[in-house]
Amino acid sequence: SPDEIGANVDMVTINGALAIDIHGQVVADTISGGQFSGIGGAQDFVAWLRERCQVIILSDTFYQFASPLMRQLQYPTIFCNRLEIGATGKIVDYHLRLPDQKRESVKALKALRFYVMAAGVAYNDTSMLGEAHAGIFFRPPDAVAKAFPQFPVTRTYAELKTAFTRAGGLKA
């Protein structure tokens, strides 16, 4: 919970997040000074995609932070990391799944003969995008898109649907 996180000594946050979407983008907006949550089309996109193929979210976040969003997305499979919470409710350690877990997960899925399409937003996604059969940027910062021109850039969920439809032969 935010109280548990805030109770940690020397904990610093630049922008406290209420939700993190499937691309690692933080949602921390306010209405009249109060924070609200919204994932800007992710719920509809994930539902659309799950009707057409299997979905696994590969994330660098922690299960404890992703849980509220996974509930909103109807609990798709997510591979991420885990925080260790001590008896006092404070974070005492963190456990990373493995180094470069996104790329390693894609390699494992390909070894099982799955066709893998991946969408990513930042530098930490590029090894996964490069390993996938089809790697697609979704709303990347301009510097990231410029540094990796081999990946098509999408800016809206409609564009991302089109890119997945073309890359995977999915029905529109």
What's the pTM? Answer: 0.75
In the DSSP assignment, the letter for residue 145 is: H
User: What strands, in cross-sheet order, belong to the sheet with 77-85?
Assistant: 56-62, 77-85, 91-95
In the DSSP assignment, the letter for residue 49 is: H
Span 1-25, mean pLDDT? 51
Phi and psi, residue 74, nearest 5°: 65, 35
Q: What is the pLDDT of residue 72?
A: 85
Quote the tokens at residue 93: 């350690």
Determine the 3-state secondary structure of 121 from DSSP: coil
Helix residue spans in 21-115 (DSSP H): 42-50, 63-72, 101-111
> Bigger pLDDT: 78 or 15?
78
Phi and psi, residue 132, nearest 5°: -70, 160
Least confident of 4-13, 36-45, 72-81: 4-13
Amino acid at residue number 135: G
| Share of residues in the chain with pLDDT > 90 (%) | 59
Say if residue 110's pLDDT is above 80. Answer: yes
Provide CB contacts within 8 A for 1, sequence distance 6+: none
Q: Parallel, antiparallel, or unpaired: how do β-strands 29-31 and 26-27 relate? A: unpaired
